Structure 1
Amino acid sequence: MTQAGSWSLQRTPEMEEALFKQWQAMLEDRIGLSLPVHRKVFLQTNLYARMREIGCASYREYLDKVRFGKAGMIEWLTLVDRLTVQETRFYRDPDAMGMVRRYVLDRPKALLETHPLAVWSVGCSSGEEAYSLAMVLNECVKELGIVNYFGVTGTDISKPALKKARQGRYPPGKLVTLDDELKEKYFTAHKKESLYQIRQEIKKRVCFARVNILELDLAPLGGMDIIYCQNVLIYFRKSRRKEILTQLAKKLEPGGLLVLGLGEIVDFNLPGLERIKNDKVLAFKRKL
């Protein structure tokens, strides 16, 4: 029997508590990822799957492997991609997208005609959110009958996810929340491959970059009109969430909009930001 065969017959081994704490500490220190005890099985499953692929015998051996050297850093990046992948789709949160739409339509028309909108999708994964925002902005601009050279920047830590985002090709399941009119307007169907390609009209408005959310102070982004950061903060400890939000707030233009996921932050008070009253969307506006 081959080694791969012998691996396939084994159950996922249990990780010692002390070793789990070491993995917890490294993940939080390097990328801010918080893994409480109830997510231990999640960690074990993902580590073990990767260990099987590369023939690593134990959690301890794999920990040492990703800790040191150039090869270790390459393997670390592969692991991070496994642990941070998000399931997403177009217009995942219609209420939040609706708030973005209202925010744009309520802005002074004269300002929109002279000021290109800058939008940031934080933790954009494979690009569905960033392209959705571009579609919303494009609809707003056409509704207002103006020209606005808006741009959307999507950032994520996962290189494979960003590669998919730049390609802009998606299976039908990612488009289930879109009506037929939007599908036809913004996508080209490739029936043989069962894929939908985002049209150039929207694709050219969106760019993608790799950014570690713990290093936002180093990100060359600022003066953003809209920052959209949903389903990202849930992976971080409460104290770390506030640090991230403080950095994001600094990147907003006066009057800019910050959209978060419901329940991702509570009792958050930051000078210069005011909560927008809405039962379905957690959002803040930077004071003028």
Structure 2
Amino acid sequence: MNDACHGVERSHTLSNGDFSRLSQFIYDELGIKMPIAKKTMLEARLQKRLRSLGIESFHVYCDYLFSSQGIENEMVQMIDLVTTNKTDFFREPDHFDYLLQNVLPEWVNRHPGKKLVVWSAGCSTGEEPYTLAMVLSQFADSYPGFNYQILATDISTRVLEKAKLAVYDEERVIPVPMTLKKKYLLRSKDKSCQRVRIVPELREKVRFRRLNFMDGDFAMREPIDIIFCRNVIIYFDRPTQEKLLNHFCVHMVPGAYIFMGHSETLSGLDVPLTMVHPTVYRKLK
């Protein structure tokens, strides 16, 4: 695919018209608001795809993207580029302390013998679900019979592939406490390799799946006891946040918890959730 076959002049800038087409699609399909202030960012990210496809015009790229062939072959690639994936091991550590000290002991007392189902919604490259797996496995050491399963979802196929591989640069695991590093991280026999991998017994506890929050059906296998959806809804407008959180609640058992990012608030939203700790909420019924 090249300019000659489309008769289009070389153009490295994204026109306002094509930006409008793209931003409207991103909002309709992903629920993410893309104001004109983000035009330069979107342009820079999409340049990679234009180079990869041999397309030198954003207009031609948009025409291709919205064609039947583009919808089938290119749409996922574009979504991967425009979604933000920032995460760390033990990010916002107060949440994991509250989970370990308050939520889990109470849950075990109320549900003896039941498997705990946790959902990491917007899991990115896997640091959050694997952090959860470490915390839950540590808890299981003190509570024989305790069992859990983690569902980890993201809209980006690119980050999900990295998450499934579970290999991280050593600098990425600096926040992991040393006792947990020794127990849950594997180092290469090659001393020059500055990478680690999550141990198999934790990888087996995490099930990764691609999921778009705007899809009508989340296709959950079983009700959810705890959701971590942190620093995700900040990319949505308030009506979309309210709709999404109510959709979450449909899949949560009564008394289930949802952990939000410290920069997020549910104030003013009509949702059946009450705050029990800063940025930690519980389903009312």
After TM superposition, the score normalised by the length of structure 1 is: 0.88
Deviation at 1:110, TM superposition (A): 4.1
Does the alignment pair 1:287 with 2:284?
A: yes
Q: Distance in 2 between matches of 1:123 and 1:264?
A: 15
The answer on whether the counterparts of 1:216 and 1:244 sit within 8 Å (CA) in structure 2 is no
Deviation at 1:252, TM superposition (A): 1.0
Number of residue pairs the alignment of both structures matches = 274
The answer on whether the counterparts of 2:13 and 2:43 sit within 8 Å (CA) in structure 1 is yes
Structure 1 residues 1-288: aligned runs within 5 Å = 13-107=12-106, 109-143=108-142, 145-190=143-188, 191-215=191-215, 217-278=217-278, 282-288=279-285
Higher mean alpha-carbon deviation, 174-183 vs 116-125, is at 174-183
CA distance 1:244–1:107, shift in 2 (3 Å): same
Q: Distance in 1 between matches of 2:77 and 2:50?
A: 12
The answer on whether the counterparts of 2:213 and 2:244 sit within 8 Å (CA) in structure 1 is yes
Q: Secondary structure at the match of 1:209?
A: strand
Q: What letter is aligned with 1:276?
A: V
Q: Please provide the CA RMSD for this pair.
A: 2.0
Deviation at 1:91, TM superposition (A): 0.7
Q: Secondary structure at the match of 2:34?
A: coil
Q: CA deviation digits over 1:95-140, x for unaligned, max 9?
A: 1222222343431544443111000000111111111111111112
Deviation at 1:221, TM superposition (A): 4.5
Q: What letter is aligned with 1:39?
A: K
Q: Distance in 2 between matches of 1:186 and 1:131?
A: 10
Q: Distance in 2 between matches of 1:185 and 1:159?
A: 29
Higher mean alpha-carbon deviation, 101-110 vs 156-165, is at 101-110
Q: CA deviation digits over 1:175-222, x for unaligned, max 9?
A: 121122111111101244321110122111111111111115342244
More helix by share: 1
Unpaired runs of at least 5, structure 1: 4-11
Q: What letter is aligned with 1:251?
A: H
Q: Identity of aligned pairs, percent?
A: 27
Q: Distance in 2 between matches of 1:268 and 1:122?
A: 22
Q: Distance in 2 between matches of 1:63 and 1:30?
A: 16
After TM superposition, the score normalised by the length of structure 2 is: 0.89
CA distance 1:283–1:216, shift in 2 (3 Å): farther
Unpaired runs of at least 5, structure 2: 3-10
Deviation at 1:287, TM superposition (A): 2.0
Deviation at 1:227, TM superposition (A): 0.5
CA distance 1:245–1:123, shift in 2 (3 Å): same
Q: What letter is aligned with 1:115?
A: K
Q: Secondary structure at the match of 2:217?
A: helix
Q: Secondary structure at the match of 1:150?
A: strand
